[in-house]
Structure 1
Amino acid sequence: MIFPDEALSDDKFLMGRLRLLQPRQGYRAATDPVLLAAACPATAGQSVLDLGCGAGAAALCLAARVPDLSLAGLELQPGYADLARRNAARNCVAMQVECGDIAAIPRALRRGFDHVIANPPYYHAAGSPSPVAVRDTALRTNTPIAEWVAAAATRLNPGGWLTMIFSTPNLPEALAALPPKLGSPLVLPLAPRDGREAPRLILRARKGGRAAFRLLPPFVLHQGPAHDGDRENYTPAANAVLRDGADLSAAFR
């Protein structure tokens, strides 16, 4: 299904440096793709594949920070793939978007990439469904996270990096899926506030990497012990990423 114009909103990301068409009802990008883009260590001239690219938020946030990237995306749902193409064009970014499944990556994407990024669905399909079908597909899956890792490993060039954001309970499965192709895992917990458990995290792993596993100090998103009113209270570091498009390189040192 292709989304009609009247079903879309026009949303600002990175303080308006990026404008994205998104469905008013359905999966809508929030902070996760912005954080994912900030964590990808791509440099100018490199190639990046976004697995499950949705409307293109993560890849286009990355393009807003890093110039001259060769971008590609794979998206299961035709409506979101169409939006990714439209969003790339309206933001003057060249991006190849193919519709297909990670279990059978289209021939047009069967090449090597310097980076693969992914924001897999968080929840198993057996959970309570969303009444909006396209949102349910974006959030729930029968595809294990190990298959996302395997698909990324197949598409990465030697020495290339996988960067993923997902819910913390999926970490053991993701780490177990890394060998033998991927190694040097770095895990950055994303804590909502100082002293709180991190429900999400970012994983980086390198094709052919042999460094030891590292669990990094949490990246804290909000200031204070609790929400204190109808306003945002991001930490300065989170604000730099989510508003100004800064990278997360310091958090991975």
Structure 2
Amino acid sequence: MLEVTQDLLLGGRVRLVQPVRGHRAGTDAVLLAAAAPVRPGDGVVDVGAATGAVGLMVAAREKDARLVFVERDPDLTELCRRNLRDNGIQGEVAVADVLDKASRQAAGLSPESADLVLTNPPFLEEGQARISPDLGRAAAHALPAGGLEAWLKACTGLLKPKGRLALIHRADRTAECLEILGKWLGGMELCFVHPSADRPAIRLLLRGIKGSRAPMSILPPLILNGPDGRFTPEAEALHRGETDLL
């Protein structure tokens, strides 16, 4: 039986059951949810949802969003369904491998059906780094070689024309993300996330619009920690759900 913990996000507004071992939701999920340009009535697809943290936090902000959680691991999808029930959120959980067209189709994921796609892709690809021996962590953190382009192509394929994508990734893969997404998105907004004011960025938050020809914008950076090592007021407010990154 999967060993789990029960955690609270956004100052207790979201309850999350997640595995003790493997990938666990944290600051990346909080930041992606805070950057999501969600509107009332939007059809929102959380790709690579795991236990549903990102989508649940978006639902806590916008009650009228229609949510679909896409995850290939059956154990995580069961926890995602449990989290939806525990939080009183209506949503669909699709068991699908986003990299496999037939799997997406079998799960009912239709092309050009989403107003907003949110994704936190696995950060590594095979051959780039040593992969964790923990199978759950490895699956969450690593893609097949060339998998990032396939992942992002599938995500943008789910978007309606003028639909919006929000992504978080490692800052050192910014050029690759821009090269791939530039084929389909415009009006891209970039926000770099720094662990402290004197250290290089570790994360990239990116938003874009399918089919837009608007120019790219670089937003002010987000600094997570002050000189004392504690969250900055902005980072603390984001984690408590008191503000967002729109």
Q: Give the TM-score category using the shorter length.
A: over 0.9
**For 1:79-158, what aligned pairs fall within 5 Å after superposition?**
79-103=75-99, 104=101, 105-107=104-106, 108-111=108-111, 112-126=113-127, 127-142=129-144, 144-158=147-161
- The letter of the residue matching 1:139 is H
Equivalent residue in structure 2 for 1:189, among 189, 192, 198: 192
CA distance in 1 between counterparts of 2:6 and 2:139 reads 22
Task: Identify the residue that residue 201 of structure 1 maps to in structure 2.
Answer: 204
Query: What SS does structure 2 have at the residue aligned with 1:68?
Result: coil
Task: Identify the residue that residue 76 of structure 1 maps to in structure 2.
Answer: 72
Structure 1 length normalisation: TM-score?
0.90
Please say which of residues 207-216 and 155-164 is displaced more in the overlay.
Answer: 207-216
Query: What SS does structure 2 have at the residue aligned with 1:135?
Result: helix
Query: What SS does structure 1 have at the residue aligned with 2:12?
Result: coil
CA distance in 1 between counterparts of 2:130 and 2:179 reads 27
Cα-to-partner distance string for 1:80-99 (whole Å, 9 max, x where unaligned): 11111111111010111111
**For 1:1-253, what aligned pairs fall within 5 Å after superposition?**
4=1, 7-103=3-99, 104=101, 105-107=104-106, 108-111=108-111, 112-126=113-127, 127-142=129-144, 144-224=147-227, 227=229, 233-249=230-246
Query: What SS does structure 2 have at the residue aligned with 1:44?
Result: coil
Please say which of residues 31-40 and 120-129 is displaced more in the overlay.
Answer: 120-129
Task: Identify the residue that residue 230 of structure 1 maps to in structure 2.
Answer: none
The offset of 1:181, in angstroms, is 2.5
- The letter of the residue matching 1:123 is L
CA distance in 1 between counterparts of 2:241 and 2:194 reads 20
CA distance in 2 between counterparts of 1:215 and 1:223 reads 22
The offset of 1:245, in angstroms, is 4.5
- The letter of the residue matching 1:220 is I
CA distance in 2 between counterparts of 1:15 and 1:216 reads 26
CA distance in 1 between counterparts of 2:98 and 2:235 reads 31
Contact 1:51/1:73 (8 A) holds in 2: yes
CA distance in 2 between counterparts of 1:116 and 1:236 reads 28
Label 1:245 to 1:119 Cα distance change in 2 as closer, same or farther (>3 A).
farther
Please say which of residues 65-74 and 96-105 is displaced more in the overlay.
Answer: 96-105
- The letter of the residue matching 1:235 is T
Structure 2 gaps of 5+ residues are none
The offset of 1:135, in angstroms, is 1.3
The offset of 1:163, in angstroms, is 0.2
- The letter of the residue matching 2:90 is A
| Count of aligned residue pairs for this structure pair | 239
Q: Provide the identity percentage.
A: 36
- The letter of the residue matching 1:145 is L
Please say which of residues 94-103 and 120-129 is displaced more in the overlay.
Answer: 120-129
